[in-house]
């Protein structure tokens, strides 16, 4: 697709995504101002909660768009040794604010030190975990498993109660792509979280994939995040290339 066409499509979709929460905020604000004395307290509280939810949705959308702009402008990646369990636990604490009823079960096998951008990797974990929380069944826990597989430490984030058909599994990492089903209709999102996660992990020489199973006994979706193990020689080379502008010294 031509660059101009991609840009126009991005702006068009973004305009639509922004308009939806703004319309709700304006509509419910006007309703309250015009009918304040007639509204019951429970209705006022309900409308204010909707305004708050839509404001959060708008803030999240703007933050995600800014992240996309940074990614497309060659965002700086700072590689260092990172501790995956600590980053996962930090991401969970962030999500517990909005998902108080969710339980996160962590299983850690033997791992080797990872090489990644600490802040960007934590952002990836937050994005994938939030996605799992949104689309898991109401009473289902989130399972997280960390293990080593040769050159990668693999973080598996698994949620139950949702299934992604095979035709969607590649497209789901594209900008603004959302599956149209009963789960997405009840869960709000920008459609940028998975795109950002995939773009960032690939900039760290990692990768991301997903599996989804649906049969008579179970239904779940799991995202696998492959984080490169610590390679001191490779990391030193990248740092030297950055400091010398890619020139041999």
Residue whose tokens read 């997405």? 184
Chain centre to alpha carbon of residue 144: 15
Q: Which residues pair with 227 in a beta bridge?
A: 153
CA–CA dist 161, 183 (Å, integer): 10
> pTM for the complete prediction?
0.70
CA–CA dist 161, 148 (Å, integer): 27
Residue whose tokens read 């760290």? 204
By residue count, the chain amounts to 249
From residue 81, how far is each of 58, 67, 94, 244 by CA, in Å? 34, 23, 22, 22
Reference 93, options 61, 131, 125; nearest CA is 125
**DSSP state letters, 71-119:** HHTT-----EEE-HHHHHHHHHHHHTTT-TT--EEEEE---PPEEE-HH
pLDDT of residue 61: 75
Structure tokens at 211: 């599996």
Residue 150 CB-density burial (10 A; 0-12 exposed, 13-18 middle, 19+ buried): exposed
Q: Is the pLDDT at 182 greater than 50, yes or no?
A: no
Contact in structure between 196 and 64 (CB atoms under 8 Å): yes
Phi then psi dihedrals of residue 81, to 5 deg: -70, 130
Reference 33, options 20, 18, 48; nearest CA is 48
pLDDT of residue 181: 44
Q: What confidence tens digit (pLDDT) does each residue in 95-136 have?
A: 887 788 888 999 988 777 899 999 889 989 988 998 888 888
pLDDT of residue 226: 96
Q: Which residues of 51-90 are buried (b: 16+ CB within 10 A; e: fewer)?
A: beebeebbebbeebbebbeebeeeeeeebeebebeebbee
pLDDT of residue 143: 94
Q: What confidence tens digit (pLDDT) does each residue in 54-105 have?
A: 888 787 777 777 777 677 667 788 889 999 999 999 999 988 877 888 889 9
Q: What confidence tens digit (pLDDT) does each residue in 133-162 have?
A: 888 867 678 999 999 998 999 999 999 878
β-pairing, 142-149 with 104-108? parallel
Structure tokens at 10: 């991005």
Residue 17 CB-density burial (10 A; 0-12 exposed, 13-18 middle, 19+ buried): buried
CA–CA dist 37, 42 (Å, integer): 13
Residue 100 CB-density burial (10 A; 0-12 exposed, 13-18 middle, 19+ buried): exposed
């Amino acid at each position: 697709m031509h660059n101009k066409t991609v840009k126009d499509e991005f702006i068009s979709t973004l305009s639509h995504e922004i308009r939806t929460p703004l319309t709700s905020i304006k509509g419910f604000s006007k309703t309250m101002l015009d009918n304040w004395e007639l509204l019951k307290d429970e209705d006022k509280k309900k409308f204010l909660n909707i305004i708050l939810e839509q404001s959060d949705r708008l803030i999240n959308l703007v933050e995600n768009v800014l992240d996309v702009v940074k990614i497309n402008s060659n965002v700086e990646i700072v590689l260092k040794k990172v501790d995956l369990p600590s980053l996962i636990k930090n991401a969970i604490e962030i999500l517990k604010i909005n998902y108080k009823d969710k339980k996160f079960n962590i299983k850690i096998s033997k791992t080797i030190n990872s090489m990644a951008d600490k802040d960007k990797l934590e952002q990836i974990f937050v994005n994938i975990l939030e996605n799992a929380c949104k689309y898991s069944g109401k009473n289902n826990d989130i399972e997280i498993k960390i293990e080593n597989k040769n050159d990668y430490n693999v973080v598996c984030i698994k949620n139950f109660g949702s299934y992604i058909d095979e035709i969607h599994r590649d497209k789901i990492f594209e900008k603004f792509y959302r599956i149209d089903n009963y789960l997405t209709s009840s869960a709000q999102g920008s459609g940028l979280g998975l795109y950002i996660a995939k773009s960032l992990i690939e900039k760290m020489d990692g990768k991301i994939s997903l599996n989804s199973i649906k049969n008579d006994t179970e239904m779940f979706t799991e995202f696998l995040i492959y984080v490169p193990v610590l390679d001191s020689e490779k990391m030193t080379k990248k740092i030297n290339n950055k400091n010398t502008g890619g020139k041999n010294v």
